[in-house]
Amino acid sequence: MLLKETVQKIRELDNEAMEKARRHQKDLIKPCGSLGMLEEVAVKIAGITGEITPLLEKKVVVTCAGDHGVAAQKVSAADQEVTRQMVQGFLNGGAAINVIARHTGAKVICVDLGMIRPVDDPRVREHRIGPGTADFTGGPAMSREQAKAAVEAGIRVAAEEIAGGAQLLATGDMGIGNTTPSTAILAAFTGLPVSLITGKGTGIDGEARRRKVEVVEQGLKANRPDPREGLAVLAGVGGFEIGAIAGVILGGAASRVPVVIDGFISGAGAMIARSLAPRALDFVIASHLSKEPGHKVMLTWLGVSPMLQMNMRLGEGTGAALSFSLIDAALKIAGEMATFEQAGVSDAGLR
């Protein structure tokens, strides 16, 4: 019921606000379009919020964690215990996401959707679906009911943060092996050969990558997820944290709050979100282009353009949090830059 109600609340962007924002950009003392994506982001956020020059001061990175049964197929260079250890590192404030979030004035929250070993800490948001997914090479990663529960968990977390004042959300992930289900999701929706879109994840070697390709192909063959059904794809070859990322996107869109997606894993969550509610992608800002080879294909399929290209592939929400600085700049330009009239500058040929 929550998923259906949330999808029904997602409306189109405020076209009137966007047109006013475009006209405002033309009035500023610069050649029209000269600030590129900074202008585009400001216009998009106007369409989301209905405000021409908003300030989105309260930012929250929602880092979703979960483990994956397919990790038993040796598709990652790291052991699954690292999922738990890294979540503890997030809570202690020493991880890359913490550093970047402090730099950009954002809060980081950690959500446990299904780590094998939970972290006993009250700061963790507990929305556990189970102790990791099943190995999808032999059957579904989860049941359809679990897939729906994962998405609805993300919706609830987004709603909680927005009720607490969040004006800008970002998605992040933690889950050893999660580039494998993300690759499977990408292949399921696009139909592209797995070998073309499979990367090295945390840094596996050539032989391990070949094994990863085989594992994804085996999972797709075993489950045959229907690309017309987002929950079917998620249940067949996805992950609990990927479903929650989709839910955060849907929850933000339903409340008209911008959601900045991180890299490859967040992109997989966005693919699920788009399948469930195509209009939800209007409320998404893509932070960066990951080094994962399938990410460019993913962003093209989603119809979004990345703000940054930094050869990043860490996850956690790092790229999304880093882009907060650019979003702040875009909004401050819209709100603080002088107009031609105010500055007494001739606009001849510049608008």
How many C-beta atoms lie closer than 10 Å to residue 107's C-beta? 14
Residue in 80, 159, 156, 88 with CA at minimum distance from that of residue 124: 88
Query: What's the confidence (pLDDT) of residue 320?
Result: 98
Distances (CA, A) of 39 to 22, 193, 196, 250: 8, 36, 34, 25
Confirm if 277 and 10 have CB atoms less than 8 A apart: yes
Name residue 125's beta-bridge partners.
111
- Amino acid identity for residue 53 in this structure: T
Query: What's the confidence (pLDDT) of residue 203?
Result: 73
Q: Which residues of the chain have pLDDT under 50?
A: none
Q: Phi, psi at residue 229, to the nearest 5°?
A: -125, 100
Q: Per the structure block, which two tokens stand in for 118?
A: 């939970």
Q: Phi, psi at residue 171, to the nearest 5°?
A: -105, 140
CATH 1.10.1610.10, the chain: domain bounds: 13-54+333-343
Query: What's the confidence (pLDDT) of residue 82?
Result: 96
Angle at the Cα of 230 from the Cα atoms of 226 and 236, rounded to 5 degrees? 60
CATH 3.40.50.10210, the chain: domain bounds: 59-330
Query: What's the confidence (pLDDT) of residue 324?
Result: 98
- Catalytic residue list: 316
Pairing type for strands 168-174 and 259-261 reads: parallel
CATH 3.40.50.10210 is held by the domain 59-330: yes
Query: What's the confidence (pLDDT) of residue 202?
Result: 67
- Amino acid identity for residue 268 in this structure: A
Pairing type for strands 106-114 and 124-126 reads: parallel
Cα–Cα distance measured from residue 343 to residue 327, given in angstroms and rounded to the nearest whole number: 24
Confirm if 284 and 158 have CB atoms less than 8 A apart: no
Pick the CATH number of 13-54+333-343 from 1.10.1610.10, 3.40.50.720, 2.40.170.20, 3.40.50.300: 1.10.1610.10
Q: C-alpha 156: how far from its chain's center?
A: 16
Cα–Cα distance measured from residue 43 to residue 299, given in angstroms and rounded to the nearest whole number: 20
- Amino acid identity for residue 150 in this structure: A
Cα–Cα distance measured from residue 184 to residue 190, given in angstroms and rounded to the nearest whole number: 10
Query: What's the confidence (pLDDT) of residue 268?
Result: 98
Strand order in the sheet with 59-66: 124-126, 106-114, 59-66, 168-174, 259-261, 284-286
Q: C-alpha 73: how far from its chain's center?
A: 26
Cα–Cα distance measured from residue 1 to residue 263, given in angstroms and rounded to the nearest whole number: 29
Query: What's the confidence (pLDDT) of residue 208?
Result: 84
Q: Is the pTM of this model over 0.95?
A: yes
